Amino acid sequence: MIDFKPTEEQVELQKMARKFAKEVIRPAEMAIDKMPDPDAAYQSPEFRNTLAQAYELGFHKMTINEQHGGLGLDPLSTAMVWEELAVGGIGIPATLLAGSVAPAFLSVLAQGKTALIDQYVRPYCDDIKADNISAWGSSEGNIGSDGSNYYDPKVRHETSAKKVDGGYEITGAKSSFVSNGSIANLFLVFANVVPEKGICGSGVFLVPLQDGVTRGKSMDKLGMRALNQGEVFFDGAKIPEDNMLMPPSDNYPFIHNAIKTVGNLGVGYLAVGLMRAAFEDALQYSKERVQFGKPILEHQAVGFRLFECYQAIEAARALLWKGAWTLANKFMGDLKLSAAARVFATNQAMKHTVEMVQILGGYGVSKEYNVEKYMRDAKLLQIMDATNEIMTIKGIKLL
């Protein structure tokens, strides 16, 4: 039997996230968006203090196992929290989502490797100052969307891992699209070990910021400016043998798809929260703005736009919740469903943030109001973590 009634714990989590989004995330995001130098923005009090407060409330460790210091929340509870946070702005929540990948991945794959858990996962979970930030390094300039072409030996990560005495040596670079790339101190790196096997010859490595690891310049982007993205360079970075979390094998597509399944849902949650923010701003404006003797909400051209946006929010959320439920009840969830939810939600976010700008008319393109930022942010959601076209193709293959 389907039940949409949240538990008491979920209601409290939503309230906490909603308050934090309104009082902390939104003003920080608006300020960061206006900063011309992205490198300076990610060192600013607006960015650093907001992250620290998010860590203090535990938003950075929601999906990590309780035995390792995390909150161990179920997928539907985290879905509700991510949506609420995204109403305040999607850059800070995206920073938290990307930053949790390496410790969450490690807490699952490093069973028995207690030293790694104690060295990296527990300090991350105990952190209340946002000193520990991680990044997932997969994307490379020569691969991009071809990263799912697993069995073509000509397609391989340029980043390589060479076996040396006591461990591995990592060499190469990850593209400027690595979320948190310029600010992270721990990297989950996909590196090629067996070139003749192409992508399937890649292993998964845990690489801390150290000698041989250089963080590149922050990308200067159209939108989502509160999310740092930047290149990461590896020049013979030496890591212990235990830092290989997964050896190269034909299971590479499985682990890649598992990350995509969870990641697509995360992008979808951001899209729903963003739509809500644009909808709420436009709705309030439409009740106050009077033209031709009545609030513009009462004009059909405006009312229809608002109601269609409301429909999109509800439909996208329902599809994402089904994806979250599947993730909780089926091993590694359903990539096809996750991709469908993400593509639908992000396309709707792009469509309706544009429409909310239209409702505000000339004020919609003014930086005095927030909706133009929402529109710019929405565009990135159709592209990040694989484009919507690529995820659609992926979904078609899984039909």
**CATH code at position 342:** 1.20.140.10
Model pLDDT, residue 144:
78
Question: Is residue 269 domain-shared with residue 368, that is, in the same domain?
Answer: yes
Q: CATH number of the domain that 241 lies in?
A: 2.40.110.10
Give pLDDT, residue 393.
94
Query: What's the pLDDT band for 107 if we cut at 50, 70, 90?
Result: confident
Do 284 and 379 share a structural domain?
Answer: yes
According to the model, what pLDDT value does residue 147 have? Answer: 79
Residues 291 and 176 in one domain: no
Shared domain for 265 and 386, answered yes or no, is yes
Residues 249-279 have pLDDT tens digits of 888 888 888 889 999 999 999 999 999 999 9
Same domain, 107 and 140: no
**CA diameter of the chain:** 80
Structural domain contains residue 3: no
- What is the DSSP secondary structure assignment for residue 384, as one 8-state letter? T
Residue-wise pLDDT for 9-52, tens only, equals 999 999 999 999 999 999 999 999 999 999 999 999 999 999 99
Is residue 158 predicted with pLDDT exceeding 70?
yes
* Domain coverage including residue 393: 252-397
- pTM tops 0.85, yes or no: yes
- Is the Cβ–Cβ distance between 304 and 275 less than 8 Å? no
Amino acid 299: pLDDT? 98
Residues 150 and 229 grouped into a single domain: yes
Whether residue 1 lies inside any domain: the answer is: no
Residue 374 lies in a domain: yes
The pLDDT tens digits of the residues spanning 170-202 come to: 999 999 999 999 999 999 999 999 999 999 999
Residue 104 lies in a domain: yes
Instruction: Identify whether the C-beta of residue 83 lies closer than 8 Å to the C-beta of residue 269.
Output: yes
Model confidence over 291-317: pLDDT tens digits?
999 999 999 999 999 999 999 999 999
pLDDT value, residue 91: 98
Backbone phi and psi for residue 342, each to the nearest 5 degrees, phi listed first: -65, -45
In a domain, 171, yes or no: yes
Per-residue pLDDT tens for 212-227?
999 999 999 999 999 9
Mean pLDDT of the chain: 95
Residues 374 and 282 in one domain: yes
Least confident window among 16-30, 133-147, 185-199, 345-359:
133-147
87: left (phi over 0), alpha (psi -120 to 50) or beta: alpha
For residues 338 and 264, give the distance between their C-alpha atoms in angstroms, rounded to a whole number. 6
Q: Are residues 52 and 147 located together in one domain of the fold?
A: no
Question: Same domain for 279 and 182?
Answer: no
Predicted local distance difference test score (pLDDT) of residue 367: 94
Quote the tokens at residue 53: 């407060």
Question: Do residues 264 and 191 both lie within one domain?
Answer: no
* Number of domains the chain is built from: 3
Residue-wise DSSP of 302-368: HHHHHHHHHHHHHHHHHHHHHHHHHHHHSTT--HHHHHHHHHHHHHHHHHHHHHHHHHHGGGGGSTT
Same domain, 107 and 146: no
Helix (H) / strand (E) containing 274: helix 252-288
73 and 103, same domain (yes or no): yes
- Kindly state whether residue 168 falls inside one of the protein's structural domains: yes
CATH code for the domain of 106: 1.10.540.10
| Boundary (domain end) residue, out of 186, 213, 246 | 246
Domain membership flag for residue 2: no
* Domain stop point among 246, 265, 297: 246
Q: What is the pLDDT of residue 223?
A: 98
Q: What is the distance between the alpha carbons of residues 391 and 116, in angstroms, rounded to a whole number?
A: 33
Alpha carbons 322 and 303: distance in angstroms, whole number: 29
Q: Are 361 and 372 in contact (CB under 8 A)?
A: no
Domain final residue pick, 246, 268, 283: 246
C-alpha angle 23-25-26 in degrees, rounded to nearest 5: 75
135 or 250, which is more confident:
135
**Residue 365: pLDDT over 60:** yes
- Per-residue pLDDT at 112: 73
Residue 85: inside a domain: yes
